[in-house]
Amino acid sequence: MQGRGGGQSRARSEQELLGWGLGAARICPDPATQCHPHKSLCGPGASCSRWLVVTPLEARAPCGFRAILQEVLDTDLSNEGFPFSTHKLVRAAGHLVRAVRLSFVGELGWELHVPKASCVPVYRAVMAAGAKHGLVNAGYRAIDSLSAEKGYRHWHADLRTDDSPLEAGLAFTCKLRSPVAFLGREALQEQRAAGLRRRLVCFTLEEKVPLFGLEAIWRSGQVVGHVRRADFGFAINKTIAYGYVREPGGGPVSPPGPHAAPAPHLGTWGEGAQPRAQLPRPGLGTGTAASLSGRF
C-alpha cells in the first residue's frame, strides 16, 4: 500500500485489512468503528480499533478460529468458559484487549476491541497463529454481504433513530412481556396496540439484477417504500434487499405471506425486478432465503 508520498506504510497496510478470504478463516476490520470508537471498552482515554474475527462453515472443524484465537488470548474460549454474547478483558500477545463473543456475519466469531497502539502487534500475533490454518484477510464488503444473508440489522441503514424496534422486527430485544421498565416502553406498547404503519421487509431476487439502495418499492403502481440496504448474497446466489414498506392508505401493514397480493417490484420508475419477500429476522441463514415462497 503506497502512502501519499509514494512510501510504503507497513503499519497502515496491516491495519487496513483488505481482501475476501472466501472459504478460509478470516479477520475483518469493522466499519462501525468509524462512527462508534467504543473508547469505554478499551479503557479511559484510549483510542480503539475494532476487528471481527470469524470462521465460515467450512472452517468450523477441526481448526476453526476458536483454535487460532486460543493460541493468542490468555483465556478459555470454550462455550463454557466464554459463552455467546459475553465479553472479557484479556491479554493478546501481552496487550490488553476486550474480546466480545459476537459476530456480525452469523458464524462463530469474536470481536477484538484493540487500542490503536496495540493494533499491529496483536494483528501480527493473530496472523502468525492462523498461518498454519490458512487464515487470510477479508474486507468490510464481505461483512456487509454475510450480514445481509443472516438478517442482522445494520445501523444507519436498516436501523435509524426514526425506526422503532417493532417496525424493525426486533421486538424480541424489548421486555414487553415482563414488568421491567425501560425508556420508550409505553410508546412501544401503544404502537403495538395500534398496529404497525411501517414494517421492515427482506426481498430476494431470482433475477441477476444489482441493487444499491434507495430503489423504490412499488405495489399496484404506487410507491410503498424504498430500499434501505442491498447486497449480493454469495452463499445463496441472490440479490438481497431490505426496506420499510407502508400501506398507501395509512393503515396497519400486514406481514408478507403466500397469500398477500399483489406482488411488489423494485425499481426507479415502476419498472424493475419482481422480488420475493419475507419478514427479516436474525438467523435467516443460508438456505432459508433460497426457498422463500411468501410475497408481500
CATH number of the domain enclosing 109:
3.30.1360.120
Q: What is the pLDDT of residue 279?
A: 59
* Predicted local distance difference test score (pLDDT) of residue 55: 43
Position 263 pLDDT exceeds 90? no
Encode pLDDT of 97-124 as tens digits.
999 998 888 778 888 999 989 999 999 9
Q: d(Cα 238, Cα 171) in Å, to the nearest integer?
A: 27
Average confidence (pLDDT) over 165-177:
92
* Residue 143 in domain: no
For residue 2, tell me if it sits in a domain.
no
Q: E strands along the chain, which residues?
A: 26-29, 48-54, 87-92, 95-100, 109-115, 136-137, 199-205, 216-219, 222-233, 238-245, 265-267, 272-273, 276-278
Same domain, 131 and 159: no
Mean pLDDT on 260-281: 55
Domain limits for position 167: 150-291
pLDDT score of 286: 35
What is the chain's mean pLDDT, rounded? Answer: 73
| Whether 168 and 227 share a structural domain | yes
Pairing of strands 276-278, 199-205: antiparallel
Secondary structure of residue 48 in the 3-state scheme: strand
pLDDT value of residue 53: 52
Q: For position 256, which CATH number holds?
A: 2.40.30.110
- Pick from 83, 109, 138: which residue ends a domain? 138
Whether 154 and 191 share a structural domain: yes
133 and 51, same structural domain? yes
Same domain as 178, residue 255 = yes
More confident residue, 208 or 185: 185
Start-to-end Cα distance in the chain: 46
User: Would residue 245 count as lying in a domain?
Assistant: yes
Q: Is residue 4 part of a domain?
A: no
Is 134 within the bounds of a domain? Answer: yes
pLDDT bracket for residue 258 (50, 70, 90) = very low
**% of the chain residues with pLDDT over 90:** 36
The reply to whether 179 and 125 lie within a common domain is no
- Which one is predicted more confidently, 30 or 51? 51
Domain-terminating residue out of 138, 171, 186 = 138
Which residues, 6+ apart, have CB-to-CB distance to 34 below 8 Å? none
- The verdict on 115 and 222 lying in the same domain is no
- Pick the residue with more confidence: 128 or 282? 128
Q: Verify that 157 and 285 share a domain, yes or no.
A: yes
CA 43 vs CA 34, 98, 101, 114, 291: distances in Å: 18, 9, 19, 10, 46
Is the pLDDT confidence value at 256 over 60? yes
Q: Letter for the amino acid at 42?
A: C
Residue 241 confidence (pLDDT) above 80: yes
Beta bridge partners of 155: 159
Q: Are 98 and 215 in a shared domain?
A: no
Q: List, for residues 69-84, the tens digit of each pLDDT value.
A: 999 999 999 999 999 9
Please check whether residue 145 lies inside any domain of the structure. no
Domain C-terminal end among 112, 138, 164: 138
Count of structural domains, the chain? 2
> Do 81 and 74 meet the contact criterion of CB atoms below 8 Å apart?
no
Tell me, yes or no, whether 62 and 125 share the same domain.
yes
Q: What angle do CA 287, 293, 296 make, to 5 degrees?
A: 120
The pLDDT of residue 4 is above 90: no
165 domain-assigned: yes
Which of 9-13, 181-185, 286-290 has the largest mean confidence?
Answer: 181-185
Question: Does 282 reside within a domain?
Answer: yes
Residue 201, sorted as left (phi over 0), alpha (psi -120 to 50) or beta, turns out to be beta
Q: pLDDT-based confidence at 158, cuts 50/70/90? A: very high
- Of residues 165 and 281, more confidence is placed in 165
User: Which 8-state DSSP code applies to residue 274?
Assistant: P
Percent of the chain surpassing pLDDT 70 = 65
- My answer on whether 25 and 88 are in the same domain is yes
Q: What is the pLDDT of residue 282?
A: 35
Considering the domain architecture, whether residues 156 and 128 belong to the same structural domain is answered as: no
Q: Coil, helix or strand for 143? A: helix
d(CA 168, CA 242): 10
pLDDT 10s digits, 139-153:
888 888 989 998 889
C-alpha cell of 52?
Answer: 471481527
Q: Does residue 43 have a pLDDT over 60?
A: no
- Identify which has the larger pLDDT, 19 or 256: 256
Mean pLDDT value across residues 23-43: 41
Q: Which of 5-14, 42-51, 205-214, 232-241 has the lowest mean pLDDT?
A: 5-14
> Which residues fall within 8 angstroms of residue 232, CB to CB, at 6 or more apart?
145, 210, 238, 239, 240
Q: Using an 8 Å Cβ cutoff, are 8 and 118 in contact? A: no
